[in-house]
Amino acid sequence: MAWTDLQLTQSVRRSFRAERAAELTMPAALVLWEGGVVGVIAAKIYQVEPFTLALISAAPMFANLSSFLWGRLSAGRSKVTAVCILQALIIACVVAVAIVPSGAWGAGVLVSSMIVSRILLAGVVTVRSVIWSLNFARYQRARATSQLQMINAVVTVAISSAIGPLLDLFPHSVAWIYWAGAVVGCLGLLFFAQVRVLGEARQRVRERRERRNPTPSMGFTQILRSDPWFRWYQLNMFGAGFGNMLIEAPLIFIITRQMQASYTVSIVLIMVIPFAVSLLSMPIWANYLDRVHVAQFRSRQSVLWIIGQLLTMLGALLESLVWLVIARTIMGIARGGGSLAWQLGHNDFARQDQLGAYMGLHVTLTGVRGAIAPFLGILLYAGWQSGGFLPGTWQGIGAWVFGAAALISGLAGWGFYALYRAMKREGRIAVNT
């Protein structure tokens, strides 16, 4: 589907062009903070401990704890300016890694810069969701967003695919890779500065009014207390997200350390395959999400999470690259729909004046589970030895952690289906079909 099929207004069309140009360039910097890239570099160059791999896997998620704050800080202010400032700070973190030589300080700078960048990126995600909600109508929002994400995914796949072979050939080229990402990322920053937001003046007035005279629905607990449907949705989202976050750190450890895969194979399995497949599946998911409520969407998409996690367990038990490729392919299909629903699902519950607050709550709860699941996942996989924070010694459950994740995802999928049925009975489903 071409972008002209969306029948956008002239002003929104110009902004859409600017966003597309930004998505062609800004990912050069952002891909360097993906858990798959940083995790492989940390595991193979710095030989970090499993707990550090869990921290790297958790960073993109627990950084979202800041999103509710970003929603409040951006309220009543220019959304494009806010995104540009955050992106500039992310590029500064990329430069920090580039200028610090690898060595004793290298791992610390890499991991700490990633954490800071992911906190900043959580702000970008929160603010951009408001931009998309204002610029695109409900019936076209998923398709428009998917096109931007498809561009992002293509660039991300292309760059991450090149990083592995580069590091295999030139193991000491990390600094040059990060310098290149910073330079190209600056171009993305310039492109995004040209974006304009439809009706932003009215939105900023509404946000200032809410900030001066906040309604009960704007608070964290108030939203959950006053909106039982969104509370039910978030409960199931917690389970679905928890199951997926549980497995990433063990997977990185298995591939990079236990199976001793090369940079290329490690990054392809951990990152490239899921991104590439999500890119291919996204247009189908987008058309479907535009036609159904997100609860129904999530109930069906959860089936793929379960299958992917079970096949990942099989691949880990057999130490089979073939089964891991199949599993990551299925996970990529699920991710294509999951990324759209994650960014847009709150729109099926929130009022227009509460979009930022609902997204802030949604992303913050993602951070809560992200602060727990990766660490629990690595503990379940590897166990612990005596003399540490936990008493006694435990060998862990190994690859069966992926089976535990599948069980959690199954319970979440059943919960989404029950939510959809209940909302349908109450006449709460109102989406174009």
Q: Flag whether 378 is in a domain.
A: yes
Average pLDDT over residues 110-115: 94
140 or 284, higher pLDDT: 284
Average pLDDT over residues 127-137: 82
| pLDDT beyond 70 at 1 | no
pLDDT tens figures, 59-97: 888 887 777 688 778 887 888 899 999 999 999 999 999
Q: Flag whether 158 is in a domain.
A: yes
272 or 209, higher pLDDT: 272
Give the per-residue pLDDT at 245.
92
- The answer to whether 286 and 146 have CB atoms below 8 angstroms apart is yes
Q: Flag whether 433 is in a domain.
A: no
pLDDT grade, residue 355 (50/70/90)?
A: confident
Distance from C-alpha of 60 to C-alpha of 33, rounded to nearest angstrom: 9
Domain boundaries, position 302: 3-425
| pLDDT beyond 60 at 291 | yes
Token pair listed for 109: 């700078």
| pLDDT beyond 60 at 6 | no
415 or 68, higher pLDDT: 415
Q: What is the mean pLDDT of the chain?
A: 87
| pLDDT beyond 90 at 184 | yes
Q: Residues near 36 by Cβ (< 8 Å), separated by ≥ 6?
A: 160, 252, 267, 270, 271
Closest CA to 93 of 152, 22, 32, 35: 32
Give the per-residue pLDDT at 59.
87
Q: Flag whether 430 is in a domain.
A: no
Average pLDDT over residues 155-172: 90
Distance from C-alpha of 191 to C-alpha of 194, rounded to nearest angstrom: 6
pLDDT tens figures, 10-50: 667 888 888 889 999 999 999 999 988 999 999 888 888 88
Q: How far is CA 323 from CA 315, 334, 363, 408, in A?
A: 5, 17, 32, 21
| pLDDT beyond 60 at 216 | no
CATH number at residue 370: 1.20.1250.20
| Domains contained in the chain, number | 1
Give the per-residue pLDDT at 15.
84
pLDDT tens figures, 373-404: 999 999 999 888 776 667 778 888 999 999 99
Residue 24 buriedness (CB in 10 A; 0-12 / 13-18 / 19+) = middle
pLDDT grade, residue 318 (50/70/90)?
A: very high
Q: Flag whether 107 is in a domain.
A: yes
Average pLDDT over residues 97-110: 82
